[in-house]
Amino acid sequence: MSLFASNTVTEDLQLVVVAVERAVDRSPDGLTYALPTSLAHLPDGARVEVPLGRGETPTAGWIVRHLPATEDPGIPRDKIKPILAQDPSGVVLPSELMQFARWISAYYACPIGMTLASILPAAVRKAIGRVERTLVDLAPSLEGLAKITKKQQHALDVLATLPRPIELPDLAEAAGYSTNEPLKRLIASGHLVATKKTAVEAGFIARAGNVAPAPTPTAEQQAAITAISRDFGQFAQHLVFGVTGSGKTEIYIRLLEECVRRGKRAILLVPEISLTPQTVGRIAARLTSAKVAVLHSGLTDAQRNQQWTLLCEGGADVVVGARSAIFAPIPDGSLGLVVVDEEHEPGYKQDSAPRYHGRDAAIRRAQLAKCPVVLGSATPSLESWMNAVERRISTLHRLTKRAPGLNTPKVAVVDFGAERREIRDRRVNLIGPTLREAMQKAFADDGQVLLLLNRRGYANYIACSDQRCQWKFTCTDCDAGMVCHVDESGAARRSYVRCHHCLSEQLLPKNCPDCGKPVTVFGLGTQRVEEELTRLFPSLIEGDTLLRIDGDTMQTAQHFHDALERFGKGEIRCLMGTQMIAKGLDFPNVRLVGVVSADTALALPDFRAGERTFQLVSQVSGRAGRGEKAGRAIIQSFEPETPAIRLAALHDFEQFATLELADRKSFGLPPYRRLARLIVRHPGETACAERSAELAAAIRSFSGGVEVRGPSVCPIARIAGKYRRQIELLAESPAEISRVLAEARTRGLLKLGEELAVDVDAIAAL
Ligand code: ADP
Ligand code: ZN
Ligand code: ZN
């Protein structure tokens, strides 16, 4: 018999619905508990601890709803248990954020408890960096108190002139004391009244960078600023379409200023990768009258807690952050603007539950807050483009020219197949003569070079040298080839192989395990480009004037920031790497951008392959010509006539979008229809096949107008020892998909976890 089971305890208490964080999802609404008198004040959005299950295990959850006295709780009152305690973090989410979380939960088919758990950063939950501070004020009356020294009286006199209460150390400083001790004696004697306040300290806030004075907006910029400003105070969608360097950020800055001037707060989302001190510093420097908070993965836990707490308390006007900053705890009624830069970035999609899209979530958050949302990109997603040009639910603002002082880079596509046939030197594989000469010229001209190859490692194809043998090195746990890497950190150069899906590693075998002939490695990888560069350009010294940037070398945000700083100073002449270098970098001395192979993204088994290729080529080309001298871009490709590559070189996004949309329409693909993927995973191949077939059959029984495809084997059939099958749901409207997913949840078919993932508006097809 439980301690709390007696009905006298819960009889008159307020009942609430609590969503526990564990993935129990029998009733989508959560479970009913009673609020004990001591916690009667807790509102919706408070994090609490409740007894769960027969063992009454204390479990974290959130109050999501107060039950009106008239509502039948659905279970006998004497079965309802009281909440155990409020969470020590004291977190209570603003009600707008709760409403937003409910939408995320329903739309992305993720239990509300799990959704709320993912909104709250672990650092806040664990109260990392929280300290207690003492505030002091003058005693209301000095009657009957002991006499004090002149020096002590001085402190009281000083305090009388200051805003009160004040922190103890601040008073000590103002009074000219070197320690807090004399003040503590005044507290003991009753001359000062002390109160405790907890705060999170991390000593970090966006640091303002050095920045040029605000430029006068161009006519195009001004038109966008004026039109968007007119929508302050109501929901409206805007798309700012302009090549890199056309002045989009300048528009955001003006709008943020205007939003703060009107007494409202704003969220600016940027891709994680471009959250460099450069970007944040530029924005902080321009928004001199606003307090800017930052949220990204490079923060320490204490910093993250501090920034989050600051936002909760209404202490920041603007938050600049990556994807998850869309969940910034902005006080109710004060959100006035949401901006999403580089809205097409795949990095906005979260790859664990809830699998939300930061841009789509931003639109919804703005809608709930009744404020405008501004999306910006040089290569808008076809979703946003269609919303603007076909559906006209979003207003399009074109920036047709690069900002004054910036050049449009000349982009040349090189037929790499043709070049390769002419090269005599067998050791030259990756940098053709056109790119090589352009690099020489750039270096001779004292310029810097950016070189992109979107594939990590040394080479991605390891096979037997005897073609009759057909042995190829694949991962034992995944249905994927192993990638060769070279480790140069030790005394000797060592080759090993790694699986990019499960990250398992092995040594590179010299001989084929099947026939004993030598093993060969071929294909592309950033390490191999690096090797070829040092051979072609003796002046390029690895780690000194040449730096490789990819997920292998840049283990932390700090590494990345340091590398960019060295490049900015000109120490590094050539920066080469994966798409980490393609985005948001703004260095005036980059004279040449080279794309070693534009074909890497084209090969993906994904209907968005063309769109991704176009984006990559455009983004990286935009890195050239940001200074006074003209910039060039050279794109090597085996398929130079592919529209995605040809049109990107011509800077013709609109033509590309028109062609691509026509294709999508004819195949009934997004953005014309909504797509949700259900991925079933299991260590047993048969079990995986059976479970996915059962799930598909069950869903078909109530799918109505929603097309249910599959199950089919996923493009990567097995990852980390688990077989993978997918079911795809396609429908004209998101509401139809939501209805089917909600029904599936109610029937208990969607238990998210190791064995099932639900990806609404999936953007990757692995
Ligand atoms: P985007 O965000 O589209 O890449 P930015 O806003 O970063 O473009 O602008 C690119 C560069 O041009 C920046 O250095 C910016 O300060 C400058 N710039 C932007 N607008 C103007 C303008 N109206 N006049 C002069 N320089 C401008
Ligand atoms: Zn693997
Ligand atoms: Zn062999």
Does the beta carbon of 245 sit less than 6 angstroms from any atom of ligand 1? yes
Check whether residue 254 and residue 363 sit in a common domain: yes
Q: Is 483 in contact with 497 (CB distance < 8 Å)?
A: yes
Cβ of 584 below 6 Å from ligand 1: no
- Nearest-Å Rg of the Cα atoms of the chain is 30
Question: Could you give the count of Cα atoms lying within 13 Å of 360 in the half-sphere of its Cβ?
Answer: 20
Distance of CA 411 to the CA centre of its chain: 30
Locate all alpha helices (DSSP H) within 448-595, ordered by sequence.
526-536, 557-569
Pair (40, 177) in one structural domain:
no
Residues 231 and 371 in one domain: yes
Residues 31 and 106 both lie in one domain: yes
CA of 484 to the centre of ligand 3 (A): 17
Q: Is residue 213 part of a domain?
A: no
- Residue 204 is predicted with a pLDDT of 42
> How far apart are alpha carbons 719 and 478 in whole angstroms?
4
Q: What is the dihedral of CA 646, 649, 652, 657, to 10 degrees?
A: 50
- CATH assignment of the domain containing 732: 3.30.70
Question: Cα separation of 760 and 338, whole Å?
Answer: 22
Question: Ligand 1: does its nearest atom lie under 6 Å from the Cβ of 209?
Answer: no
The pLDDT of residue 211 is: 64
Residue 403 near ligand 1, beta carbon < 6 Å: yes
Closest ligand 1 atom to residue 216 Cα is 23
Domain annotation covers residue 569: yes
pTM for this model (two decimals) = 0.85
Residues with Cβ within 8 Å of residue 558, at least 6 apart in sequence: 298
Query: How many domains are contained in the chain?
Result: 6
Q: Is the distance from the beta carbon of residue 271 to the nearest atom of ligand 1 less than 6 Å?
A: no
Sheet of strand 494-498, all strands in order from the earlier edge strand to the far edge: 483-487, 494-498, 505-507
- The answer to whether residue 667 sits within a structural domain is no
Instruction: Compute the distance between CA of residue 312 and CA of residue 306 in angstroms, rounded to an integer.
Output: 10
**CATH number of the domain residue 193 falls in:** 1.10.10
Q: In terms of domains, do 225 and 344 share one? A: yes
CATH of the domain at 52: 3.40.1440.60
Contacts of 179 (CB under 8 A, 6+ apart): 172
Distance 405 CA to ligand 1 centre (A): 9
Q: In angstroms, rounded to a whole number, what is the distance separating the alpha carbons of residues 663 and 607?
A: 10
CA 429–ligand 2 middle distance (angstroms): 28
Asked if the structure places residue 605 within a domain, the reply is: yes
Distance 318 CA to ligand 1 centre (A): 20
**Last residue of one domain, picked from the residues 95, 119, 143:** 119
- Answer whether 404 contacts ligand 1 (Cβ < 6 A): yes
Question: Residue 682: CB partners within 8 Å, gap ≥ 6?
Answer: 688, 691, 722, 723, 755
Distance (Å, whole) CA 312 – CA 133: 18
Tell me the helices (H) and strands (E) count for the chain, helix number first: 22, 30
Dihedral (C-alpha) 638, 644, 649, 651: value to the nearest 10 degrees?
A: 180
- Residue with the nearest Cα to atom 24 of ligand 1? 215
Among all bound ligands, the one having the nearest atom to the CA of 627 is 1
Give, using CA atoms, the residue closest to atom 5 of ligand 1: 247
249 CB near ligand 1 (under 6 Å) = yes
Same domain, 62 and 90: yes
| 746 and 708 co-located in one domain | yes
Residues 420, 566: one domain?
yes
Mean pLDDT by 10 residues, the chain (766 residues): 46 88 66 92 94 88 91 85 89 94 94 91 78 79 83 87 84 86 87 74 54 86 97 98 88 96 96 72 84 84 86 91 94 97 94 95 98 96 96 94 75 88 71 92 90 80 86 88 80 81 86 90 81 86 82 71 84 85 72 87 81 88 70 90 92 95 94 95 95 96 94 91 95 94 91 91 85
Q: Which ligand has the nearest atom to the CA of 504?
A: 2
Residues 391, 385, 351, 710: is their CA dihedral positive or negative? Answer: positive
Name the residue range of residue 335's domain. 219-399
Atom of ligand 1 nearest to the CA of 253: 6
Same domain, 58 and 93: yes
* Cβ of residue 615 lying under 6 Å from some atom of ligand 1: no
Question: Distance from the CA of 530 to the center of ligand 3, in angstroms?
Answer: 29
Pocket test for ligand 1, best of 216, 243, 249 (most atoms within 8 A of CB): 249
Pocket test for ligand 1, best of 211, 216, 218, 250 (most atoms within 8 A of CB): 250
Q: Residue 267 pairs with which residues in a beta bridge?
A: 319, 338
* Torsion of the alpha carbons at 577, 580, 583 and 589, rounded to the nearest 10: -40
Ligand 1: atom nearest CA of 378 is 3
**What is the CATH classification number for the domain harbouring 433?**
3.40.50.300
Distance 251 CA to ligand 1 centre (A): 9
How much distance in Å is there from the Cα of 209 to the middle of ligand 1?
A: 16
The DSSP symbol for 608 reads T
Locate 675 and state its tokens.
Answer: 């797509």
The domain boundary, picked from 355, 376, 399, lies at 399
Our answer on whether the CB atom of 90 is closer than 6 Å to any ligand 1 atom is: no
Tell me if 18 sits within 8 A of 51, measured CB to CB.
no
Query: Are 448 and 500 within one domain?
Result: no
In terms of Cβ atoms closer than 10 Å to its own Cβ (0-12, 13-18, 19+), residue 689 is middle
Q: Is residue 125 part of a domain?
A: no
Alpha-carbon distance 669 to 529, whole Å? 36
Type and span of the H or E element at 742? helix 734-746
